[in-house]
Each structure stands twice: as structure tokens, then as C-alpha cells.
Amino acid sequence: MDYIIIVAGGKGLRMGTEVPKQFLPVGGVPVLMRTLNRFHDCRPDLGIILVLPHEQQEYWSQLCRQYHFDVPHRVVDGGATRFDSSRHGLAAIPDDCQGVVGIHDGVRPFVSAQVIDRCYARARQCGAVIPVLPVTDTLRQTGADGSGHNVLRSDYRIVQTPQVFDIQLLKRAFHQPYSDQFTDDASVVEALGCSVEMVEGNRENIKLTTPFDLKVAEILC
């Protein structure tokens, strides 16, 4: 069986709102519901695991009742870090399970069906996949003295989610102790010495972090 772990632990600080960003409405529907709907509509067979801070779970239940949200999913407690939250979500999958699992930011509701299909299909073949986009802006590396120099943007990619892996590979990876070098789930897998393949992402798959992002999201709805 294949799974998607949706991690939503934001507190909305950069949004400047009291309501956590994953619960803010976009086009009249909470962001997190849009995200779960996107995966369920694309792959109804996926087991959906939602990782939420314990103190936010009752509010989520209220929203589900209010919006008559009935997409099947299991809720597990988030952790102190993104690494811990991913590990908690992964622990909800049986240890002997065979298949692939994606880990996705709860505030990326506009991932395309094509990207989801592409990531899952490729992960079955190579074991570890991330969606990426080319960098279009000029990049500049800064120095300690405030100076800097331009770098070749063709050497870099913007990383998105879902990051999709063989379940058994990811379970082995998350048995490692936490490291500050872990910047995302792919970096945890790479620490085992495994390579991670890149596939094309989609521009609309933005992470909703700021009030400006919400304005863009309203246009995308």
C-alpha cells in the first residue's frame, strides 16, 4: 500500500494571524482541506496520514464538522521539529509495509496531479524522488564581511514536495539520530548514502507562508 504523510505544524507567525496558516481559508476552504483533497482526488487509494500538533487537533475536528469534510485520514501528533513530525507520521505505517510514501507540506495545496503521479511512479523505480524547479532569479552567495559574488543559477534547483520514497528505505533513514544537516526529508535519506532523483515540479506548488502567498493562492483557486 502507498501512503502520503501531510505535515502541518505551522503557527502562522509570518502570516501575522492568530489562526495557524494551514487552517486559513483560501477560496472559502481551509488550506489543509485543499491539500488533502488534492491527493485524495488524484490517488483515492493512498493512505493519508495527517501530522498535526496535539493542541491543534480539536480545532481541526471542528473544521471537519463545519465543512462536512469526509476525506479518510488518520491524525497523529506532531513533534518538536520537522524531523520528529515526519518520523511520527512514518511510525503510523506498519513496519512490514511494502510500497512508497510521500511527505508533503500541508500548506502546499496546489501540487498538480501530474507531479504527484510522476513522483510516485518514479519512486517505485529508484526509491527516492523529489520534485524541483529551475531557478529563474540571479543568485548571489554572501560572505561574512557583507560582500558576495554571483553563482551559476543553472547549478541549483528549487525543491518542492511531495518527496516520495520507498517505505522501507525511509524507515531505515529515520532510525538515524537527528542532525542539523537534515534540511528536508531527502537529506535524511541522503545521509544513508542513497541518491535522490529529481523530477519536474509545478510552479503553482507554492508554500503558503506570507500574506502575499495567500493573495496568490486566491488567484490560483
Angstrom CA distances, 204 to 130, 180, 218, stand at: 16, 29, 12
Supply the pLDDT for residue 11.
Answer: 59
Q: Would strands 3-7 and 47-52 be described as parallel, antiparallel, or unpaired? A: parallel
Angstrom CA distances, 39 to 74, 106, 131, 172, 205, stand at: 14, 11, 15, 25, 13
Out of 36-45, 140-149, 164-173, 177-186, pick the least confident.
140-149
Angstrom CA distances, 100 to 53, 105, 122, stand at: 25, 17, 10
Helix (H) or strand (E) holding 120, with range, is helix 113-126
Radius of gyration, CA atoms only, the chain: 18
pLDDT band at residue 9, thresholds of 50, 70 and 90?
Answer: confident
Residue 186 near residue 196, CB atoms below 8 Å: yes
**pLDDT digits over 96-137, tens only?**
999 999 999 999 999 999 999 999 999 999 999 999 999 999
Residue 16 has pLDDT above 70, yes or no: no
Residue 195 CA to residue 198 CA, distance in Å, equals 10
Residue 211 has pLDDT above 60, yes or no: yes
Residue 134 near residue 202, CB atoms below 8 Å: no
Q: Nearest to residue 50, comparing CAs of 69, 32, 66?
A: 32
pLDDT band at residue 19, thresholds of 50, 70 and 90?
Answer: confident
Supply the pLDDT for residue 83.
Answer: 95
Residues in Cβ contact with 183 at an 8 Å cutoff, skipping those fewer than 6 apart: none
Residue 17 has pLDDT above 70, yes or no: no
Supply the pLDDT for residue 13.
Answer: 47
**pLDDT digits over 73-85, tens only?**
999 999 999 999 9
pLDDT, the chain, mean:
94
What is the model's pTM?
Answer: 0.94
Domains of the chain: 3-211 (3.90.550.10)
**pLDDT digits over 132-143, tens only?**
999 999 999 998
Residue 109 CA to residue 160 CA, distance in Å, equals 12
Residue 92 near residue 49, CB atoms below 8 Å: yes
CA angle 83, 115, 218 (to 5 degrees): 85
